[in-house]
Structures are given as structure tokens and as C-alpha cells.
Amino acid sequence: MARVFSGIQPTGDMHLGNYLGAVRQWVADQDAHDALYCVVDLHAITLPHDPAELAARTRRTAMLLLAAGLDPHRCTLFVQSHVRVHTELTWVLNCVATMGELRRMTQFKDKGQGQESVSVGLFDYPVLMAADILAYDTDRVPVGDDQRQHLELARDIALRFNHRFGETLVVPEAAIPPVGARIMDLANPTAKMSKSAESPTGTIALLDDPKSITKRIKSAVTDSETEVRFDVAAKPGVSNLLSILGAVTGRDPETLAGDFTGGYGGLKTATAEAVVEFLAPLQERYRDLEADPAGVDAVLGEGAAKAEAIADGVMARVRDAVGLLPRP
Ligand code: TRP
């Protein structure tokens, strides 16, 4: 079975865009793959963060993933900082990666811009991500298009390592989901729905209550025509609603457009109702998990142990390949 690995940052509350764009694929991959999913808390400290919030956010993200359908019996779900190999392997890979290739990372340029001082950790973010992936002999990495460059770097680092020290690391492939899963901001439909959006009115968090979901969808930005038609370039707002409705009902957005002849009101109502209905079971599972913190701890403890067993083996090969003295 091919091994898949992916990670998600615990930076905020997961939203519908994360779920439909990525997490749903993770859930689907559980059966046909040996799947590992990681809440990457060490990546979250590469930018200024609130220490009082991080642990709670990490737990919340893990609980949301479980509520969304990750099943600890069918996949390995764990927290990055619980498995020390991630940082240990990062160091070794730091000695293989070059300053030049890290400087070219567009996400570093974007995130570093305007910051008074940029941490070494932010610069090194892609090497930590490479370590996440390479520590598990990963075959496939399901990520969004925005992570393509980081994945390419992970491949380059693995190839260079193998060239320099002998065949040691598995070179992973990207599994970029087909377009259509791109959910845009409701208030600004040419930008991706994002946790860091300037205004929260364009985002639907997975735990939002039915009233605010309905309100946000009803006030989504559309255009001054009245015709419902799927045309991302000319009608980004309407097309986004059709994409959302299509994604949560399993129907094709272009076909759906034909159902709405009387202006945008009907589309908005139908989308709001469908999203509320779609999220209800997830929200219920989340409440159950919230009521059972010991159960969640047990899942994360077992996940870390399963992950560690794999990563320790890979790290032993890496130590041997680079010539570190075995601990007596
Ligand atoms: N950088 C990824 C993101 O922001 C998160 C991530 C960290 C990741 N490590 C990973 C994704 C390893 C895939 C594999 O989305």
C-alpha cells in the first residue's frame, strides 16, 4: 500500500475551504493507503504566536480532523512535536539544503515581507516540512497547489541526499487535487478562503452555528446581474457559491446552475441550507470529542507511538548513511 503523509497547521479554526480542499481527500485516502496525518505545531511557531493558545489550538485541530472523519483505526493521526525525529532529521537535511534554494521559496518571501525581523525558523520552514515527509518513507503527499514548491524542494533534498550518501530516502510524489475543490472567500471571491483573511465574514469555520453560516452565505458578494451561471472569471462570487453547493451535495456546479432561474436568492438559500446540513454531523461528533478529552489524548498518544516507530527506523538509516557514531 502506498504511504501518504500530509500536515496541517494549528493556526486557527479549520474552515470549509480546508475541509473541501484538503481534509476530505485525507478522509478518502484512509482506506486505500497507509495514511499519516500530522498537526504541525512546530511549523506554527515560525511566526510570532501566542503560547497560551497553541496547545489548545493543536488539540482543536486534531479534534476537528477526527470529527471530519479521520479514523484512528484506519490512519495515523499525531502531533508533530510529539515525535522528535522531525527536528532531528531537519538538522541533517539542513546540511543538504542550500541557502539559495530556500531563498527562492515564494512562501518565505510572502510571509517574511513586512516583518521587522524574520526568524531562522521561518526561513527553514520548508526543510522541516521536508523532514516531516521524508521521515516516513512517504510515497505521496496530498497538498494544495500553494505547497507545490515546498514539495519540489523536499524531492530535491531527498535526491541530493541519496546521491551524496547512497540510497536512503524515498523520493515522494505530489498529489495535487484537481481544481474545483478551490473554495474562495465569500466576501472577496477572487481570493482563497483563508484563516488569515482580513475580515472573517468571508470564511465559514467548521464549527460556526447555523445562523451565522446562513448569514454569511446570504451576504456573500455576487455581482449586479441576476443570471446564475458557472463562470469563474466573469462571475467569481456566483461560481464560488455553485462550487460550494456542488462540493457539499456531490453535484456538478455547472449543472446546478440550471436549477436557479429566479436570481441569486434561491442559490444563496439552497447553499446555506446545504452547508448547514453538511456540517451538522461533523459538529455533533466534535461535541462528543470535546466531552471526552482523555479519549482524544489516547488517540494522539497512540498516533505518536505508531508514527515514531516508523520515523525511528528511517532516522537510523539516515544516521548510518551520514556516518554518525552509533550510541553505545
Ligand atoms: N506547509 C503545509 C501547509 O501550510 C503544512 C505542512 C507541514 C505539510 N508539513 C507538511 C503538508 C508535510 C504536507 C506534508 O499547508
- Tell whether the model's pLDDT for residue 297 goes beyond 60: yes
Direct distance between the N- and C-terminal alpha carbons of the chain, in angstroms, rounded to an integer: 35
Instruction: Sheet with 34-39: list strands edge to edge.
Output: 76-79, 34-39, 3-8, 140-142, 173-175
- Tell whether the model's pLDDT for residue 12 goes beyond 70: no
pLDDT in tens, 167-177: 999 999 988 76
- Tell whether the model's pLDDT for residue 193 goes beyond 70: yes
**What are the cell numbers at 227?**
443570471
The pLDDT, as a whole number, for residue 213 is 97
Which residues are bridge partners to 77 per DSSP?
A: 37
Neighbours of 2 (CB within 10 A): 13
Active site residue 109: no
Q: Is 154 in the pocket of ligand 1 (CB under 6 A)?
A: no
Pocket probe mutation, ligand 1, options 33, 36, 40, 193, max atoms within 8 Å of Cβ = 40
Distance CA 87, CA 253 (A): 43
User: Distance of CA 1 to CAs 131, 140, 272, Å?
Assistant: 21, 11, 39
pLDDT in tens, 221-266: 999 899 999 999 999 999 999 999 999 999 999 999 999 998 899 9
What is the 8-class DSSP label of residue 177? P
Active site residue 215: no
pLDDT in tens, 30-69: 998 999 999 999 999 999 999 999 999 999 999 999 999 9
Which listed residue (195, 211, 235, 306) is catalytic? 195
**What are the cell numbers at 113?**
515581507
State mean pLDDT over 81-88: 98
pTM over 0.95: no
Angle (CA) 144 157 70, round 5°: 35
Q: Is 21 in the pocket of ligand 1 (CB under 6 A)?
A: no
CA of 219 from ligand 1 middle (Å) equals 32
**What are the cell numbers at 101?**
534554494
